[in-house]
Structure 1
């Protein structure tokens, strides 16, 4: 599924194991030091023995030799201690290097096995591979971006969601097979059951969003203490995702925080949620299709440019309280349902070239920033233009309150 790459921000290199240098550069000076100590101590103790009687000279010489030998032994012990310290350090570094190599081999084996499982035709095996990658990423921060890339690559694989009647037909086939005491043969594509593959993809999406979610909701028993949400200890920081062309089912990125996100040409099946998400880098939705409602309420786009060009909003699009800090492009975007931009900020200079709005009917509500103006085209459709006003909202259609997403 991909090469095993590590994040450049995180290094797992072992402690540097310096090569052993030659012993002669310090062994010879040490021997000279011991000899000098012996000679110096002996000469100092024997310098005044000429005036001492013979018996006392002999005793003094013996004592001087003992003292010199003791001094030499002390120097020798110090050298021995240095050798022991050097040997101990070498053993510790060698052990650390060995342990690092063993860890690297284990991580590589786990990664390779999990990646191979994603290629299985059996849905339980693919699920096991996803969970193995999740655990490996949680335990190895340096591999998180690589594993996220692998999961995103899996979601970018071609996939056609089954229609509901196919699911009902599978159920009826299973019932008929049970009555006939023979195994059912569900609809498959490429050797994979479409409904099982949908569950695998939902799991892959959940793994991504669960670790990109920056904060969890407050625990119920602590609501009386604080309304502030708790930090998510499972959050993976500084992650970017590439889901270009992916088919995403019930995609939920609420309260997530990530660097960059690419959703170009992606298909969002069923409602999608981005409320409260924070994007610190560039975000691309160019060419994406939202087949149902989508929510961006209170989302924050900090990157230099946010692309919503050529996007199709087939149903409601909620941007209430959304903040855009950089350039925003809605070129050739189509709004086929309701749209709510009440409280959205940073849209005064948005690019609106070629925006298309379906004709307004009573049940369709659209609230635009007052810096935008809807104009009717000759074919009955509408388009958007920028105005000089930079605050407030303008409303077209029926009631002025967005419908909540299911």
Structure 2
């Protein structure tokens, strides 16, 4: 009904413009022929109809685009739901395929990226243990374990989830302005690699890190919480920037930790035993809150304490 009214209005407007233009031309240019005046008026009226046709085509185009977007969103929602469902499949290859499907969805539909990261983190938070963790926690790949095929297959699925998390986070020339958060509370992680990535909040309370943990050049704009975490292998934090603060409260370090070039702002919690083996120091930004005894940790940029100043 609305379309018919608009069409009728455009026709009437065209007729009015044609008549008005013709009359004005005849009044302004008395010497002009009536045929020329009518012809010019007709062109003006036709222009009105043409403008209406262009508007109508643009409206139809926008409507079609909206319909396609709606269908695309619906298909993405269905793909997401199906992929999450397949994460509970007994076959490890099906679970790996579901993880890749979720990663593809996060790349093709950016609105899903944080949700997909949440799902991948939730998968890693599931209870898991592998015989190699007790044999050689600092380098599980070097352990010889042939008696746990089911654990081996699940281990590969989890390593795939870790790799996809790393791949989804922005780094280098990827200028994605969003800060993505990771919640790995209580997870068992193996050879975690987040070097060079940009993230928001990193929650790793009571998390167990097996093998080498690579956090070099990591940029965290929100707090990085390692409260109660256990690092069973080497840790590389060189040139990492923890702008939102970092907590090592009650954390345990079993291997060497590289702090060279690392910096922290806002706050740092070192209410725990400092790593026995470490290189470099963490530069603490001026005005940052410090919990714990900074004298027992390799921290740089701190004002001298009264005791040190008196000495």
Q: TM-score range by the shorter chain?
A: 0.7 to 0.9
Structure-1 residue corresponding to 2:109: 140
Supply the distance in 2 between the matched residues of 1:167 and 1:325 (Cα, whole angstroms).
42
By how many angstroms is 1:25 displaced?
5.4
Structure-1 residue corresponding to 2:183: 242
By how many angstroms is 1:149 displaced?
1.3
Structure-1 residue corresponding to 2:230: 289
Q: Is the partner of 1:345 in helix, strand or coil? A: strand
Picking from 224, 237, 262, the partner of 1:322 is 262
- Deviating 4+ runs (over 6 angstroms): 164-167
Matched residue count:
295
Supply the distance in 2 between the matched residues of 1:370 and 1:239 (Cα, whole angstroms).
29
**Is 2:197 the counterpart of 1:256?**
yes
By how many angstroms is 1:329 displaced?
0.6
Structure-1 residue corresponding to 2:153: 196
By how many angstroms is 1:161 displaced?
2.6
Contact 2:230 2:253 in 1 (8 A): yes
Structure-2 residue corresponding to 1:311: 251
Supply the distance in 1 between the matched residues of 2:260 and 2:94 (Cα, whole angstroms).
41
Judged with a 3 Å threshold, the aligned counterparts in structure 2 of structure 1 residues 121 and 236 are, in CA distance, closer, same or farther, namely farther
**Is 2:1 the counterpart of 1:32?**
no
After TM superposition, the score normalised by the length of structure 1 is 0.62
Measured against aligned partners, the alpha-carbon deviations of 1:215-262 in whole angstroms (never above 9, x if no partner) come to 4xxxxxxxxxxxxxxx4x598962221111111112122222222211
Judged with a 3 Å threshold, the aligned counterparts in structure 2 of structure 1 residues 167 and 196 are, in CA distance, closer, same or farther, namely farther
Supply the distance in 2 between the matched residues of 1:194 and 1:81 (Cα, whole angstroms).
70
**Is 2:66 the counterpart of 1:89?**
no
By how many angstroms is 1:167 displaced?
6.5
Higher helix share goes to which structure? 2
**Is 2:166 the counterpart of 1:209?**
yes
Supply the distance in 2 between the matched residues of 1:212 and 1:293 (Cα, whole angstroms).
23
Structure-2 residue corresponding to 1:280: 221
5+ residue gaps, structure 2: 136-142
Contact 2:232 2:255 in 1 (8 A): yes
By how many angstroms is 1:325 displaced?
2.0
Judged with a 3 Å threshold, the aligned counterparts in structure 2 of structure 1 residues 78 and 263 are, in CA distance, closer, same or farther, namely same
